């Protein structure tokens, strides 16, 4: 994993949220891109690349991908669709970086567990590591 890590933009994640709402239902307020707090998504993206006292907050690719989902879900970034958007943004992040994150019905349970404080971040990272594979 020596290559530069590619990341999603705010616009990418807003499009994912809009697509999730259109595909699975929910509420999308177009006047504010469905953002519950306009600065919250910027904060998510800054945190992924951030550091504290010279140490990266999320030093590995797996932690960065997990943090995108985690922070969207836990932070209630959007008016609706946070769990779906967080997990799909995570999947897209790995896709951008040459990996496939296998998703199935358990993905929904994991997103609900994150939202309801039944899963810790290191466990989520481990869950991702067990479901990831390099693209052919």
Domain membership flag for residue 40? yes
Look at residue 3 and tell me if it is in a domain: no
Its pTM stands at 0.94
Asked whether residue 2 is assigned to any structural domain, the reply reads no
- As for how many domains the chain has, the answer is 1
- Cα separation values, 36 from 1, 5, 76, 80, 94, Å: 35, 28, 7, 9, 25
Query: Does residue 1 register a pLDDT over 50?
Result: no
d(CA 53, CA 67): 19
Kindly report, residue by residue over 8-38, the tens digit of the pLDDT: 999 999 999 999 999 999 999 999 999 998 8
Residue range of the domain that includes 21: 10-134
- Please check whether residue 113 lies inside any domain of the structure: yes
In a domain, 115, yes or no: yes
Does residue 5 form part of some domain?
A: no
- Chain Cα centroid distance, residue 33: 17
Query: 104: domain CATH number?
Result: 1.20.120.1870
């Amino acid at each position: 994993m020596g290559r530069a890590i590619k990341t999603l933009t705010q616009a990418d994640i807003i499009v994912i949220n809009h697509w999730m709402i259109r595909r699975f239902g929910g509420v999308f307020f177009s006047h504010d891109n469905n953002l519950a707090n306009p600065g919250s998504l910027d904060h998510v993206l800054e945190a992924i690349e951030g550091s504290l006292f010279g140490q990266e907050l999320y030093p590995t690719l797996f932690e960065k991908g997990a943090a995108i989902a985690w922070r969207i879900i836990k932070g209630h970034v959007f008016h609706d669709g946070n769990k779906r958007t967080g997990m799909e943004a995570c999947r897209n992040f790995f896709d951008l970086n040459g990996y496939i994150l296998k998703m199935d019905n358990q993905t929904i349970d994991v997103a609900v567990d994150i939202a309801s404080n039944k899963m810790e971040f290191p466990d989520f990272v481990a869950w991702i590591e067990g479901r990831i594979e390099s693209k052919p």
